[in-house]
Amino acid sequence: MTVDQGAVFTILLVSLTLFVWGRWRYDIVSLAALLMVFLAGLVPAGEVFLGFGHPAVITVADVLVITRGLLNAGVVDALSRYLAKVGSRLTVQVATLTGIVALCSAFMNNVGALALLMPVAIWISRQSGRSPSLLLMPLAFGSLIGGLITLIGTPPNIIIAAYRTQAGAAPFGMFQFTPVGAGVAVVGVIFIALIGWRLTPHREAGAESGELFKIEDYIAEVVVPENAKIVGQTLYQLTSEMAKDMDAVVVGLVRGDRHIPAPSWYDVIQAGDILLVEADSEDLKALVDGLGLELAANQEKHMDALESDDIRIIEAVVTPHSILPGQTAIGMRLRSNFGVNLLAVARLGQRLKSRLGKIRFAVGDILLLQGKEDAIKEALATLGCLPLAERGIRFVKPKKIVMAVSIFAAAMTTAALNILPVQIAFSAAVIIMVLAKLISMEEIYESIDWPIIVLLGAMFPIGHALETTGGAQLIADNMMLLSERFTPLVTLTVLMVGTMLLSNVVNNAAAAVLMAPIAISLAHGMGVSVDPLLMAVAIGASCAFLTPIGHQSNALVMAPGGYKFGDYWRLGLPLSIVVVLVAVPLIAWFFPFQPS
């Protein structure tokens, strides 16, 4: 092993360790690794940031924007609106949801497809009196296998298509992934629908209660006596007073026969008012003792003072794209900045008992929010959270759907027929969608997953360094020892399984970037076409079913489903085996090991 190879392997090992640890976001880790390969002299200064202009990076960004345009047009809503009619049989529900999310994921970002269908799945679960855990993991895995079907279904496919040019061939086309990807997706959906869902954990709490939060359990009624010092003050003044020493929120006001949900900060407190306060026992005692208030003798729980035609209470999940992870409610100033009250936070299916204002949000947390409908909608969009309550299906506008689908289909056709490179065709589709007012300029930048873009832009030069230093060839040479003793199918299987395992601990795009040069070197060493080995990497990189950190879709369903870290392998391991058993013979059939 040379000094350069030792350096690149060390940098990659440290990076992978940091990816798994998760203390720092993967885009920061990848940028630090890029800096290190430059300082080690493995990448020239003029090539350090060339990865950000790579066609695969542009294509991934285009697909994310086009996905937003399709969502805005109501394409997925037009499909999901019929899901409530699938009946109460669990097998039928799983088959329908998983099949639709797989179909959508073939042509759009899989996290976007999952985000649209997840609230529907939760609503169906609650209507059927079942735990959402039975539907959400199958839904997440369906979004992953659906991405295998086309070039644009998942970033690893786009990356692998681009790497094919290094072997002197044209990039994979739009539907060259389809024979293998569709076969895996169909068998995968059938397995999940008939057998797989039975392997998922059954979390009883959500099904028995019909809702994750019981609001009456943590709302107290406080009476304002005539001699209380807050009489004549506004709620804003009371809130400012409470913020000094306690973590409490006034979420409702009862005044005589009037029930006022989420009262205005400018409402003046009167003697005899009943305040509905969200607080733990310690803060509630401090509120009563410190401000001269009284606990209502009869806690009637005026729950109708929490909601009205204008005021809503909803559950929302913190997505991987949210700005909330690592922040607190106090730091974000949810009430003053966004006009919403935070009532409760749940993590891993259980409501957190800590002081709300001091809880540091994490991806997958479920928040119970109260506020005006418009304020909540705007807050969720800004914060990057996804509503989980029953969604009203948006009014479907057929003209917009036809327009969006036509633009998308034209871009795919243009790319499939090699009239334009895929990154050019999809960039043109983005521009046309903007001109057609299917997506706004602001939404373009909101819809792009910038950490993924940074990760890809940084990892391409690192992958190139792995190749130029001979590191990829060194790994391939060791794998050649395997190919000399066994058939090429065994080598292909080992490559696919190794990529799968890597993808379960690092981002799937990073796994594809790191494994593609190894596949190319291995193919050259075996004297065969690179196509079957690259296809094995593409399948392996997208099938991260064993952990919640393997893919954003897995992380997104963790809290709503009440899953634990170790729950994923119960369905994920059998599904991974099914994928390998189906994919390997399909790859050998459609991409034979022809001499290079």
In angstroms, the CA 65 to CA 44 distance is 32
Q: Where in the chain is the domain with CATH 3.30.70.1450?
A: 215-305, 311-387
Tell me what pLDDT residue 95 has.
Answer: 93
- Residue 375 pLDDT > 80: yes
- Residue 364 pLDDT > 90: no
- Residue 344 pLDDT > 50: yes
Of residues 374 and 305, more confidence is placed in: 374
Tell me what pLDDT residue 208 has.
Answer: 40
- The lowest-confidence range among 31-45, 201-215, 495-509 is 201-215
Instruction: Characterize 301-323 residue by residue with b for buried, 16 or more Cβ atoms within 10 angstroms of its Cβ, and e for exposed.
Output: bbeebbbeeebbbbbbbbbbbbe
546: Cβ–Cβ under 8 A, 6 or more apart, which residues? 501, 504, 568, 569, 572, 573, 576
- Residue 396 pLDDT > 70: no
- Residue 74 pLDDT > 80: no
Task: Give the rounded percent of residues in the chain with a pLDDT score beyond 70.
Answer: 88
Of residues 215 and 115, more confidence is placed in: 115
The mean per-residue pLDDT over the stretch 118-146 comes to 85
Task: Give the rounded percent of residues in the chain with a pLDDT score beyond 90.
Answer: 28
In angstroms, the CA 542 to CA 539 distance is 6
Mapped to the 3 state alphabet, what secondary structure does 506-541 carry?
A: CCHHHHHHHHHHHHHHHHHHHCECCHHHHHHHHHHH
- Residue 346 pLDDT > 60: yes
Tell me what pLDDT residue 151 has.
Answer: 92
Of residues 78 and 80, more confidence is placed in: 78
In angstroms, the CA 465 to CA 398 distance is 50
Of residues 304 and 381, more confidence is placed in: 381
Surface-to-core class of residue 542, CB atoms within 10 Å of its CB (0-12 exposed, 13-18 middle, 19+ buried)? buried
* Superfamily grouping for domain 311-387: Regulator of K+ conductance, C-terminal domain (3.30.70.1450)
The mean per-residue pLDDT over the stretch 156-175 comes to 88
Fold classified for 215-305: Alpha-Beta Plaits (3.30.70)
Which range in 98-102, 106-110, 287-291, 544-548 is most confidently predicted, on average pLDDT? Answer: 98-102
Report how far apart, in Å, the C-alpha atoms of 140 and of each of 11, 113, 203, 346, 411 are.
32, 10, 17, 20, 27
Quickly state the pLDDT bin for 374 (edges 50, 70, 90): confident
Tokens of 240: 């400012």
The mean per-residue pLDDT over the stretch 164-188 comes to 91
Tell me what pLDDT residue 218 has.
Answer: 63
CB 379 within 8 Å of CB 339? yes
Instruction: Identify the residue whose tokens are 């409530």.
Output: 84
Of residues 406 and 393, more confidence is placed in: 406
What's CA 486's distance to the chain center, in Å?
A: 39
The mean per-residue pLDDT over the stretch 428-445 comes to 90
- Residue 297 pLDDT > 70: no
- Residue 438 pLDDT > 80: yes
Q: Which of 103, 137, 104, 105 lies closest to 121 in space, CA to CA?
A: 137
| pLDDT tens string 195-252 | 999 998 876 544 343 455 666 556 778 888 888 888 888 888 887 777 666 777 787 8
Average confidence score pLDDT of the chain: 83
Long-range pairs, 577-581, Cβ under 8 A, ≥24 = 578/187, 578/188, 578/191, 579/145, 579/184, 579/188, 579/539, 579/543, 580/493, 580/496, 580/497, 580/500
- Residue 302 pLDDT > 70: no
Tell me what pLDDT residue 210 has.
Answer: 43
301: Cβ–Cβ under 8 A, 6 or more apart, which residues? 216, 219, 221
| pLDDT tens string 253-280 | 888 778 787 787 788 888 888 888 877 6
Amino acid occupying residue 79: L
